[in-house]
């Protein structure tokens, strides 16, 4: 009698585990944020175009199957690079983009949520990415000068029209998620969250309880915790890792709905980040990191 062994996928991002987005998409829990493949201040083309292309292709090779971008990254340039590097896209690749921020220069972002503008930007992202439907379309910021219901409503309309599959929000509180969910199903929330910024703990808890993906941006920021004597530094020394890898491993163990998207402009840094996926922190280390603030 013959037996066959199931092959183990040893790509590092796969070892982060999986979660479901909405009711149909399954992604590995370590994604890639495509903001840093643009120029300084998230403005203009990257200093090294070819390296940006290599980063995107290498991310997929390492098992990353969710790439997060936005029309405002460049602007437009990040989406264009993604298409150049990866089109035709692997079947399992999930593309997430965002709209709702205007750019006026390097490091300058302004919320702009008029429904006609959000619709226009969705159409342009479809064209730049070369797809008929965007897997995950996120409202980059809720514009306080436009009724929130109007902003959520246009996302619901785009979903009904088949132009976007899933809807996400960025930089929101629990009350805003609840308000939006009355109009359209929310598949993900993307807030700043890391070892030294845990203001969104209540949002993370809310998302975990309701099976909403929580996408922390700036995930590897460890501040003083990465300096000698800091909890992340000491854990890295003990485990033979970097402080950034400790920060990512801590996030992955903090919630089953956590989906970090560390970004970078170099292949070497990408590989270092992805190496955090299989890293398991012992209880003592987790408690030290939890209590560090």
Residues 203-222 have pLDDT tens digits of 999 999 999 999 999 999 99
Query: What does the pLDDT read at residue 3?
Result: 43
- Alpha carbon 170 to chain centroid, angstroms: 10
The pLDDT tens digits of the residues spanning 98-157 come to: 999 999 999 999 999 999 999 999 999 999 999 999 999 999 999 999 999 999 999 999
The pLDDT tens digits of the residues spanning 61-81 come to: 999 999 999 999 999 999 999
Q: Are 258 and 201 in contact (CB under 8 A)?
A: no
Helices (H), the chain: 49-61, 77-86, 115-129, 148-160, 174-181, 201-209, 231-239, 243-254, 267-274, 283-290
Query: What does the pLDDT read at residue 293?
Result: 78
Query: What does the pLDDT read at residue 24?
Result: 80
In a domain, 125, yes or no: yes
In a domain, 122, yes or no: yes
The pLDDT tens digits of the residues spanning 226-263 come to: 999 999 999 999 999 999 999 999 999 999 999 999 99
In a domain, 115, yes or no: yes
**pTM for the predicted model, two decimal places:** 0.95
pLDDT-based confidence at residue 2 (cuts at 50, 70, 90):
very low
Name every residue whose Cβ is closer than 8 Å to that of residue 243 and which is 6 or more positions away in sequence: 220, 222, 225, 226, 230, 232, 233, 235, 236
Question: Looking at the annotation, which residues are catalytic?
Answer: 73
Is the per-residue pLDDT at 1 higher than 50? no
Residue 67 sits in a domain whose CATH number is: 3.20.20.100
Is the per-residue pLDDT at 4 higher than 90? no
* Cα 52 from Cα 141, distance rounded (Å): 26
In a domain, 281, yes or no: no
Domains in the chain, number: 1
DSSP element (H, E) containing 164: strand 164-170
In a domain, 269, yes or no: no
* Cα 27 from Cα 256, distance rounded (Å): 12
pLDDT-based confidence at residue 7 (cuts at 50, 70, 90):
low
pLDDT-based confidence at residue 5 (cuts at 50, 70, 90):
low
Q: Are 275 and 12 in contact (CB under 8 A)?
A: yes
In a domain, 145, yes or no: yes
- R_g over Cα of the chain: 19
In a domain, 60, yes or no: yes
Long-range contacts made by residues 54-58, C-beta under 8 angstroms, separation at least 24?
54/267, 55/264, 55/265, 55/266, 55/267, 55/270, 56/32, 56/81, 56/82, 56/85, 56/86, 57/85, 57/86, 58/267, 58/270, 58/271
Q: Are 189 and 213 in contact (CB under 8 A)?
A: yes
Domain housing 196: 16-222+255-264
Is the per-residue pLDDT at 265 higher than 50? yes
In a domain, 84, yes or no: yes
* Cα 71 from Cα 271, distance rounded (Å): 26
């Amino acid at each position: 009698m013959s037996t066959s062994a199931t092959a183990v996928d040893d790509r590092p991002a796969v070892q982060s585990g999986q979660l479901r987005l909405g009711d149909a998409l399954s992604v590995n829990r370590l994604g890639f944020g495509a903001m840093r493949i643009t120029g300084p201040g998230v403005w203009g083309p990257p200093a090294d175009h070819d390296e940006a292309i290599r980063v995107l292709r290498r991310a997929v090779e390492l098992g990353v199957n969710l790439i997060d971008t936005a029309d405002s990254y460049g602007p437009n340039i990040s989406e264009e690079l993604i298409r150049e590097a990866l089109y035709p896209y692997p079947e399992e690749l999930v593309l997430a983009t965002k709209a709702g921020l205007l750019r006026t220069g390097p490091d300058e972002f302004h919320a702009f949520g008029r429904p006609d503008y959000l619709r226009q930007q969705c159409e342009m992202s479809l064209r730049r990415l070369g797809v008929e439907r965007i897997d995950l379309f996120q409202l980059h910021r809720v514009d306080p000068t436009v009724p929130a219901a109007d902003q959520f409503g246009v996302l619901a309309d785009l979903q009904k029209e088949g132009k976007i599959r899933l809807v996400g929000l960025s930089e929101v509180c629990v009350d805003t998620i609840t308000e939006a969910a009355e109009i359209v199903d929310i598949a993900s929330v993307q807030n700043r969250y890391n070892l030294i910024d845990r203001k969104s703990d209540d949002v993370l808890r809310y998302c975990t309880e309701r099976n909403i993906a929580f996408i922390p941006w700036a995930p590897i920021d460890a501040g003083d915790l990465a300096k000698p004597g800091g909890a992340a530094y000491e854990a890295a020394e003990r485990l033979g890792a970097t402080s950034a890898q400790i920060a990512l491993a801590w996030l992955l163990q903090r919630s089953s709905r956590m989906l970090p998207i560390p970004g970078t402009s170099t292949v070497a840094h990408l590989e270092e980040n992805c190496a955090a996926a299989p890293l398991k922190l012992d209880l003592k280390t987790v408690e030290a990191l939890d209590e560090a603030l």
